[in-house]
Each structure stands twice: as structure tokens, then as C-alpha cells.
Amino acid sequence: MIRTILTYPNPELKKKSAPVAIINDSVRALAQDMVETMYDAPGVGLAAPQIGVHQRVIVIDISASDEPPGLIVAINPVIVHAEGEAYEEEGCLSVPKFAANVRRHASVVVKALNLEGVECTWRAEGLLAIAFQHEIDHLDGILFVDHLSPLKRELFQRKARKAAEEAR
């Protein structure tokens, strides 16, 4: 089922998510809904808080449309190692029509559980590393705009307020 993606400044996006205690049919259904919602948007990643569920579940697929899917479902993901620096443009399904360069680690090692409860490890660089960091930030109530300088963040907030007023 495709769910509604919450958008800035919805306060639900700023809440921290709880770890998943038991991987059951409810969690599997949540992950399936997240995958359908991400592909429909379309996006390369989605975190459960973006659809109003405060559990530590993310889905990522950075494959191009002409490539086979490379879907990752990660439950309780944790970055266990990070190094280097990347400064790339990011956007977000919860922050539509806005993109900005964000400083991130160039490579990360992420551990998480899959839908069968098996611990998996991903060594990621480039777009995948950025996607992991971006989606894990969502689990902690952090949006990519929170990484911007105060000036750029203020410009973004003004633009978001203006867009909200125009939408009324």
C-alpha cells in the first residue's frame, strides 16, 4: 500500500524512532508499504518516520531505472564505521522542491537486520553511503537541511514558508 509521505515542517519528522524489538508480519508489511511508497514517489530511499511510523526501518534502492532493482531493507541500522568526506547535492521526499550540498562521510559500514532477522553488513561508498546516512538521520529526527549552515538553513526556511503560504 502506498502511504502518504510527511513533508517539512511536520513535527513528526523531528521525532526519534524506537528500535524494532521483534520482526513480525507487521514489520514486514511496513517494509513492503515503504518500498511501494519509495518507488511510487520516486525516490532512492525512505525511512519509516517519513510515513509517520517511528520505528527504525529504512529502505534504499539506488539502482537506475534501466538496472535491476538493488533493494535494501535495513532494520535497526547502525553506522559502525565512517571515513572520508563527500560534499554532494541531496534532496528528500519530505523536503520537496529543495536540494542543497551536504557534507557527509564518503564511505560507511552499516550493520542492520534484514526481514528474516539476520544481521547484514554493507560497505558503502558514493550515493549508497550518502543514502544510508540520510535515511539513518531520519530515524534520529534529523533532516538533511539540519546539516546546512545557519544562513542556508534560514534561506530554506523562508522558501518553505513562502511555498506553504502559496499552497493555501
DSSP code string of 38-98: HHHTT-SEEEGGGGT--BSEEEE----TTS----EEEEEEEEEEEES-EEEEEEETTEEEE
Residue 135 appears among annotated catalytic residues: yes
Position 75: which residue type? I
Phi-psi region of 110 (alpha: psi -120 to 50; beta: other; left: phi over 0): beta
Q: DSSP 3-state assignment of 113? A: strand
Choosing from 135, 154, 165, 166, the catalytic residue is 135
Give the DSSP H/E element, type plus range, for residue 125.
Answer: strand 119-125
Q: List, by residue number, the catalytic residues.
A: 135
